[in-house]
Amino acid sequence: MRSIRRVVAAGVVGGAMVLTAACSSGGSGGGSAAKADIGAGAAPASAAAATPGSAAPKVSQAAVSIEPKTGSVDVAPTALKVGATGGKLTTVKVSDKSGKEVPGTIAADGLSWTPTAGLSVGTAYQVSAMAADANGVVAEADSSFTTLTPEVQAKAADNVDDNATYGVGMIVSVEFTKDVKNKDAVAKSISFETDNGTVVKGHWFGDRRLDFRPENYWKPGTKVTVHYRLKSVEIAPGVYGGSDRDEPFTIGRSQVSTVDAAAHQMTVVGDNGKTEQIDITSGSDDHPTWNGTMVVMSKEGTVRMQSSTLPGMTGAPYDLQVPHSMRLTTSGTYVHGNWWARNGVFGGDNVSHGCVGLKDAEGGGSSTTAGKFYDSSIVGDVVIVKNSIKKETLEPDNGLSGWNLGWSQW
């Protein structure tokens, strides 16, 4: 700790010493310093000190402490502490070598100052702080130090492209390349700015995945910017977040599709109130489709689907080129075109291996039922399945299925 007591100024009026100090209120630290107020017509402190018979300047009972001390290097971004004893802080100024000030707040009792956020890594800082005792006599302390340069960094990748447009069910999913231990600090360092005040909250799935969504589906037309401020955040001991960046995107029109597996129908509702009924086939009794709310994760065009990749597969093996494929879950649920099913399947039977199939032509085509639905869909669109015979619960981390968790659990 560094403690320095200094006299700021003193003057003599009519043979009596006058010593006062102007103190700022206990708010956020700024660049202005507290100064002694010398009475009108009084001699400067230096002259007063030289006058025979004048009293010695008073020493402040306040002491200012700053950690880290001057000359420190490899300082953690969270290590800065400024405090006072025997008085109250009046001014704290923290700035980097470019002069950019670090915002912070003096506590209500005047005994400490806290930065609004952690410092930046690999940066030189200067600190100047002042405190006044009960008599207004001011003490001052200074420090200069350099924060550490991270040796280990993690990457944080998400599923958002700059300036892209997504459906109203979009969930932003952030994946880290290393385990996150300081989860609260990381979550606070990723913020969402929206043009209509939509509140977004994060939910951890394990130590490497953090998903974000609002309480209800997004409002169409919402402008969103994700602010990442992870570069100077220690996500785990000795591991830092790697980058600071901003990612803007927009929520497009609403399209919510509800699959009734028992009725072999899908109802598509747009934000203009237009409703369309589509005949579908969903998962068979041996491979039923998940019930629950899912989100289009990706539009993948034609996908090769093989029975050999399906755990517990029963029935005839297959190896197919499947057009108009849109992924709904990580485990392999799709809504896709189907050109190989027999007549009467769509709207009449469930024969798939867990996916939702729409009538299509081999090789696809924009004029088919599947082609039209594919062209009208975007990533982030909602697909709800109900009345499937599947009893297992769709896990909220299986794809972008976080809508299956209530807001209080999120």
- Residue 336 annotated as catalytic: yes
Q: Are residues 135 and 175 in the same domain?
A: no
Task: Please give the order of strands across the beta sheet that includes 152-153.
Answer: 152-153, 239-240, 234-236
- β-pairing verdict for 16-18 and 11-13: antiparallel
Q: Are residues 244 and 286 in the same domain?
A: no
Q: Are residues 162 and 132 in the same domain?
A: no
E strand or H helix that includes residue 371: helix 369-376
Q: How many domains does the chain have?
A: 3
Catalytic residue selected from 23, 264, 353, 355: 355
For residue 232, tell me if it sits in a domain. yes
Q: pLDDT digits over 125-182, tens only?
A: 999 999 999 999 999 999 999 999 999 999 999 999 999 999 999 999 999 999 999 9
pLDDT of 285 higher than 90: yes
pLDDT at position 54:
60
Q: Are residues 181 and 222 in the same domain?
A: yes
Q: Are residues 129 and 163 in the same domain?
A: no
The answer for 352, left when phi > 0, alpha when psi is -120 to 50, beta otherwise, is beta
* Domain of residue 336, CATH code: 2.40.440.10
Burial class (CB in 10 A: 0-12, 13-18, 19+), 271: middle
Catalytic residue selected from 264, 324, 336, 353: 336
For residue 167, tell me if it sits in a domain. yes
Q: Distance between the two ends of the chain, CA-based, in angstroms?
A: 43
Domain extent at residue 119: 3-147
Q: In DSSP terms, which residues pair with 226 in a beta bridge?
A: 192, 247
Query: What is the pTM (predicted TM-score) of this model?
Result: 0.81
Which of 94, 126, 147 is where one domain is finished?
Answer: 147
Q: Are residues 224 and 260 in the same domain?
A: no
Residues sharing a CB contact under 8 Å with residue 29, sequence separation 6 or more, in sequence order: 91, 92, 93, 94, 103, 104, 105, 106, 113, 129
Which of 147, 181, 203 is where one domain is finished?
Answer: 147
Q: pLDDT digits over 177-228, tens only?
A: 999 999 999 999 999 999 999 999 999 999 999 999 999 999 999 999 999 9
Q: Are residues 283 and 387 in the same domain?
A: yes
- CA nearest 304: which of 318, 287, 322, 317? 322
Q: pLDDT digits over 229-250, tens only?
A: 999 999 999 999 999 999 999 9
Q: How far apart are CA 215 and CA 327, in angstroms?
A: 23
Portion of the chain with pLDDT greater than 70, in percent: 85
Q: How far apart are CA 327 and CA 316, in angstroms?
A: 23
Q: How far apart are CA 58 and CA 48, in angstroms?
A: 13
Q: Are residues 273 and 201 in the same domain?
A: no
pLDDT of 34 higher than 80: no
Confidence of residue 369 (pLDDT cuts 50, 70, 90): very high
- Name the residue with tokens 């402490």: 65
Q: Are residues 26 and 42 in the same domain?
A: yes
Q: Are residues 25 and 128 in the same domain?
A: yes
- Residue 353 annotated as catalytic: no
